[in-house]
Structure 1
Amino acid sequence: MTVSVEVLMLLADQQGTWSYRRAAATPLPGEAPDETARRISGIQADDPAHVVHSTSWRHLPELDQIVLTYAVCPDPEPESARTPLNDLTIARGSAPAAPSPDQIENANVAAHAIQHLAFLRTTDPVVERTLEQWPTIAMALAFPAGELDNVRA
């Protein structure tokens, strides 16, 4: 089984509409997943203006691969081509002991990452201070955690 790191570089506009840019790579020999995420996104470990945070993982049986997902917020290259998030639905498993969804799309993973950042914004002072530097991001994350499915882009 292989491990892959994907990074979803997130951005919200003035209306609170989210979009993302996705990149993925395999960790280099001896490289920790956090380091891979920073390498992919071009963020330095001491960057005070961006959050890099692991938000989820999933198994891709067809590739025999584990994908570790990181959110980077805000996207360090906001002018780059992006995928709009028109629907912020989070994929969910069908039973309490079967948490993996039957089907999951990149948009579902991005929606989960946004909800994760909203939670961290209210529970992690380091993340809160960082995201408060970006008023449009802070505004777009200002909804109670758990209510993401009610928010539409």
Structure 2
Amino acid sequence: MNDQVSVEVLPVRVDAAGVWRYRRLTARLGGESPDQAARRSAGVPAGDAFTVVHSTSWRYRPQGQIILTYVVCPDPWPLLPATELESLRLATGAAPETPAPEHIHLDNVVAHALRHLAYLLENDRVVAAALAGHPEVTRALDPLSRELAEQLAGVH
């Protein structure tokens, strides 16, 4: 078992009003890949073609621990209690050469994961096919996708 690496899993779901909710699960690696640990933790069987399990970010803790974050969409267990996402605000570093933010709230990590999903929905046919059966998810990701496109169009 590797105590220096942990897997954080964020199953996300959205309701009819477009409100995102998430759960936070953690898993330790022990003879399996991070992908397998994320699937096991979220209860997503291998071969599930309708649930996206995607590595979305990582962060470092001063104690020497690396946290690998996976988003799972849609949440395979939508009736379990979940936290409402308060804001889609990202945490950013203070300068270009110091990308790690001083403070990261879990909402920031979820916001990053959702923006990542929005990008993948537009640019990854496997993700698009998996989410095609979840119109509430694609509807809720659409504004994020448009926002990302506008940001990229402004880059020269």
State the TM-score, normalizing by the size of structure 1.
0.91
1:51 aligns with 2:52: yes
Give the distance between the partners of 2:18 and 2:28, measured in 1 at CA: 32
Give the match for residue 4 of structure 1: 6
Give the distance between the partners of 1:42 and 1:144, measured in 2 at CA: 27
Shift of 1:55: 0.2
Matches within 5 A, 1:77-96: 77-96=77-96
Please state which structure has a larger fraction of its residues in helix. Answer: 2
Give the match for residue 113 of structure 1: 113
The letter of the residue matching 2:50 is A
The letter of the residue matching 1:96 is P
The letter of the residue matching 2:119 is F
Query: Which structure carries more relative contact order (alpha carbon 8 Å, separation 6+)?
Result: 1
Give the distance between the partners of 1:145 and 1:78, measured in 2 at CA: 24
The letter of the residue matching 2:38 is A
Matches within 5 A, 1:132-151: 132-145=132-145, 147=147
In structure 1, runs of 5+ residues without a counterpart are: 149-153
Shift of 1:146: 7.6
Instruction: Work out the percentage of aligned pairs sharing the same amino acid.
Output: 49
Shift of 1:143: 2.0
- Is contact 1:93-1:101 (8 Å) kept? yes
- Is contact 1:10-1:21 (8 Å) kept? yes
Give the match for residue 20 of structure 1: 22
Over residues 79-135 of structure 1, what are the superposed CA-to-partner deviations in whole Å (9 max), with x where a residue is unaligned?
000000121111011111111000001110000000000000000001001111101
